[in-house]
């Protein structure tokens, strides 16, 4: 019987791999499209340095001329004035004391086009006071959920973060002082929740763990070990104590999904799965830390941002568990459930294998 399942799994993977590889669209497990911004004021001018991932720019019609989903220098140069500039001017606005400021652009030289840098200057006739920034870019275009993490620099040299999202498009304040503990904590809790809910590989890993029948005590041990493990590596990686190449981390995360799917097909005793989950949780922690490494921890709230981001990840995981666990436990005694677990595990393993291939070779 086990050989039959193995043959079925390998055939499914073989056919699925060629089906997926024949598709020209790239698949990414982390569907959230990210942007970053550095925002500062000096005298009568507000400067915004935008860093936008090239995939968001590539979604504009006509930008990716050769349809390879990679923007080169010539494509960016040709599309910037006609497509990108008008879109930014329409979707980004800055007010000073209620007055709308005029915008000037400066596209920076971009040697590596994974992120594209654009410097924007908003000048007023008087000194910068109370500023309102409306960020309404890429929310309506991208199939992915877009988030922009903005780092504000105050007049006294301190910094703080604000996360622009579809539900929080506008920031209003001054550059006189950084917000307090609770403001920073809320921002990074929200970022952690969004990261786990848009990280489909992490979600599939949790789903694969829950599919098989286990006692509640074993489920609690699995969840606890995963939490402890990824918290350890998230903190170490975010503080740059330990570092691994992102390609290795992301590819290994995909392999953890494949391995758990295989266990679901061939093992019958899952009571000691917590040890495996702990080992794999260490790898997933590096994946969670990738977001913080890209953003950078705020200098005045480093520990707050780190701990509350991790708390946000935990809250997102609990939300997934609360939604899925009762449903799975309710149907697991039906006659058809064992076959559903087999089919679901095959599909999960196939997704993990595909992500592994795309992360290694793209």
The radius of gyration of the chain from alpha carbons, rounded to an integer in Å, stands at 23
Share of the chain above pLDDT 70, in %: 84
> Which has the closest alpha carbon to 226: 247, 243, 254, 203?
203
Chain centre distance of CA 150: 15
Q: Where are the domains of the chain?
A: 2-29+192-361, 33-179
Chain centre distance of CA 272: 30
Phi and psi at 121, nearest 5°, equal -125, 130
Interval 316-340 mean pLDDT: 85
What is the rounded average pLDDT for all residues in the chain? 80
Give the least confident one: 47-56, 121-130, 256-265, 291-300: 291-300
Confidence (pLDDT) at 14: 43
Phi-psi region of 144 (alpha: psi -120 to 50; beta: other; left: phi over 0): beta
Interval 314-343 mean pLDDT: 86
Better-predicted residue by pLDDT, 267 or 331: 331
Give the least confident one: 168-172, 242-246, 355-359: 242-246
Contacts of residue 24, Cβ cutoff 8 Å, sequence gap at least 6 = 67
Query: pLDDT tier at 177 (50, 70, 90 boundaries)?
Result: low
Query: pLDDT tier at 60 (50, 70, 90 boundaries)?
Result: confident
Confidence (pLDDT) at 141: 67
For residue 13, pLDDT over 70 is answered with: no
Interval 18-40 mean pLDDT: 57
């Amino acid at each position: 019987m086990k050989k039959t399942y193995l043959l079925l799994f390998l055939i499914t993977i073989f056919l699925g791999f060629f089906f997926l590889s024949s598709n020209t669209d790239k698949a990414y497990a982390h569907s959230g499209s990210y942007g970053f911004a550095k925002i500062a004021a000096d005298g009568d001018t507000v400067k915004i340095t935008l860093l936008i991932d090239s995939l968001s720019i590539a979604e504009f019609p006509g930008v990716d001329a050769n349809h390879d989903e990679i923007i080169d220098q010539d494509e960016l140069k040709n599309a910037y004035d006609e497509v990108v500039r008008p879109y930014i001017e329409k979707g980004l606005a800055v007010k000073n004391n209620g007055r709308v400021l005029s915008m000037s652009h400066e596209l920076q030289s971009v040697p590596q086009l994974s992120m594209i840098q654009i410097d924007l200057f908003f000048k007023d006739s008087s000194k910068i006071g109370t500023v309102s920034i409306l960020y309404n870019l890429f929310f309506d275009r991208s199939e992915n959920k877009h988030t922009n993490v903005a780092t504000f620099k105050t007049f006294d040299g301190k910094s703080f973060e604000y996360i622009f999202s579809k539900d929080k498009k506008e920031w209003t304040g001054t550059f006189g002082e950084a917000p307090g503990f609770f403001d920073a904590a809320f921002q990074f809790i929200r970022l952690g929740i969004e990261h786990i809910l848009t990280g489909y590989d992490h979600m599939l890993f949790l789903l694969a763990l829950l599919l098989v029948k286990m006692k509640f005590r074993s489920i609690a041990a699995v969840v606890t070990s995963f939490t402890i493990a990824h918290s350890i590596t998230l903190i170490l990686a975010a503080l740059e104590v330990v570092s691994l190449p992102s390609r290795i981390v992301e590819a290994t995360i995909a392999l953890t999904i494949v391995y758990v799917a295989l266990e679901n097909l061939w093992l019958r005793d899952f009571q000691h799965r917590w040890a495996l989950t702990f080992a794999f949780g260490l790898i997933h922690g590096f994946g969670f830390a990738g977001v913080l490494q890209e953003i950078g921890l705020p200098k005045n709230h480093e520990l707050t941002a780190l701990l509350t981001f991790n708390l946000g990840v935990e809250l997102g995981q609990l939300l997934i568990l609360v939604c899925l666990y009762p449903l799975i436990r309710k149907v697991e005694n039906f006659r058809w459930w064992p076959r559903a677990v087999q089919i679901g595990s095959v599909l999960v393993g196939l997704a993990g294998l595909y992500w592994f291939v795309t992360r290694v070779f793209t």
